[in-house]
Amino acid sequence: MHVIDCLPLNETGVEHARVVGDQLAVHYMEKLAPRPQSTKAQLRTVSAWGEECQADLVRLRYGIVGLGSVGGFIADALVKTGAEDVMLIEFDHLEEHNLDRLNFVTATDIERLKVEALAAYLQPRATAAHCAIEPVVGAVYEDQAFRQALDSYGVRFATLTELAAILGGGP
């Protein structure tokens, strides 16, 4: 097994380490990243895969790049599962043609930034006792948002549109 990534919390230790072997595994230093208590709203989720798996999944840091229909559904599923730390990255504004496929918007959201609308939609739906949702206005083909997406998160989701932008250097 090889440690491939560590997230330092401070100079005295690391919060978690990802290890690759026969499978990807994350190991947490309980003192720095304590196991969260499941909530009553997570009962069905925890019963599907158990307390240990739930604790490992919700302590991961998630980044979602591109907040169209796929990114919105992923973000919604993560916060309802109990994710405690989610970064949302998107540069685009909502338009009327988005209303037929985005589950997190209504007509009153037109012209609003997608990232702001989704963050507002998600916060009251989070099942974790403490859920940090960080909206980032930017595109991953721009240096600042690209670095935030790479440097800050352990699990990243990118839509095909966003991957094409990264590989092609623009929208």
pLDDT for the residue numbered 20? 59
Residue 134 banded pLDDT, cuts 50, 70, 90: very high
Distance CA 80, CA 19 (A): 27
Which carries the bigger pLDDT value, residue 26 or residue 146? 146
Sign of CA dihedral 38, 40, 43, 44: negative
Residue 149 banded pLDDT, cuts 50, 70, 90: confident
SS3 82: coil
Residue-wise pLDDT tens digits, 98-114: 999 999 999 999 999 99
pLDDT for the residue numbered 155? 72
For residue 82, give every residue at least 6 positions away whose Cβ sits within 8 Å of its Cβ, in sequence order, or none.
36, 38, 39, 42, 45, 54, 57, 58, 126, 127, 128
Choose among 161, 171, 156: nearest CA to 74: 156
For 19, the enclosing helix (H) or strand (E) is: strand 13-20
pLDDT for the residue numbered 118? 98
Residue-wise pLDDT tens digits, 26-47: 778 888 888 999 999 999 999 9
The amino acid at 106: T
Contact 123, 76 (CB under 8 A): no
CATH number of 36-168: 3.40.50.720
For 7, the enclosing helix (H) or strand (E) is: strand 2-10
Domain boundaries, the chain: 1-34, 36-168
pLDDT of residue 2 exceeding 50: no
Distance CA 121, CA 111 (A): 16
φ/ψ bin of 82: left (φ > 0), alpha (ψ from -120 to 50), beta (otherwise) = left
Assessment of whether the complete model's pTM goes beyond 0.85: no
